[in-house]
């Protein structure tokens, strides 16, 4: 996919990040959840203050995908603060969130972003990339399977007041010797 550049995000990107987060989250999950739960989640996780705090934290890595005209059309958040017991012996990093703007779905942008994540994780000598994905998000599951992720467990994800089940998936990284 041409015409896309991937850049590390900083404080100047917070407004675009917030807008893309709210739009993509709403497009993906509003049909399955109550308005109240959606509202609670969006207010807690996608406020400018919260995103700015997270961008500044050393455990988080935000990368944005920008189109030719400088618009942010996708992003990924990686983080190292969560520690699943199953991966305790490995140097692990989590793909907490990958969001592609609806107009770009199915055109390979998610794959461009995933490729960047894998290159970053390898370069930083992580041994495994893992994630949680809602059991009903079949599109994302298909995407992760295509990228070689395998299920290794489950965990609970709170969407507002609703406790939902996520599959945990992992991909071992082949660090060059």
Residues 24-63 that bind ligand COA (CB under 6 A): 24, 28
Which part of the chain contacts ligand COA (CB under 6 A), choosing from 10-18, 119-127, 134-142, 156-164?
A: 134-142
Of 169, 109, 112, the C-alpha closest to 135 is 169
Known catalytic residue at 29: no
- Distance, CA of 94 to CA of 16 (rounded, Å): 23
Find the binding residues for ligand COA in span 141-170 (CB under 6 A): 142-143, 146
User: Any contact of residue 108 with ligand COA (CB under 6 A)?
Assistant: yes
109 scored as a contact of ligand COA (CB under 6 A): yes
Residue 156: partners with Cβ closer than 8 Å, 6 or more residues away: 163, 164, 165, 166
Return the DSSP state at 70: S
Cα gap 124→135, rounded to integer Å: 30
Nearer to ligand COA, 99 or 120 (CB): 99
Q: Rank residues 126 and 149 by Cβ distance to ligand COA and give the closer one.
A: 149
- Catalytic residue numbers, as ranges: 144
């Amino acid at each position: 996919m041409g015409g896309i550049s991937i850049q590390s995000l900083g404080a100047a990107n917070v407004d675009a990040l917030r807008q893309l987060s709210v739009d993509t989250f709403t497009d993906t999950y509003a049909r399955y959840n109550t308005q109240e739960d959606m509202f609670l989640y969006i207010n807690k996780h996608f406020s400018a203050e919260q995103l700015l705090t997270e961008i500044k934290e050393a455990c988080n890595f935000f990368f944005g995908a920008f189109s030719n005209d400088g618009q942010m059309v996708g992003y990924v958040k990686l983080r190292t603060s969560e520690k699943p017991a199953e991966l305790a012996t490995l140097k692990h990093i989590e793909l907490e969130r990958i969001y592609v703007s609806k107009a770009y779905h199915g055109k390979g942008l998610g794959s461009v972003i995933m490729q960047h994540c894998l290159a970053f994780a390898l370069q930083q000598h992580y041994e495994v990339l893992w994630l949680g994905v809602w059991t009903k998000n079949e599109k994302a599951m298909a995407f992760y399977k295509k990228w070689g992720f395998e299920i290794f467990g489950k965990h609970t994800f709170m969407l507002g007041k609703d406790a939902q089940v996520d599959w945990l998936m992992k991909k071992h990284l082949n660090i060059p010797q």
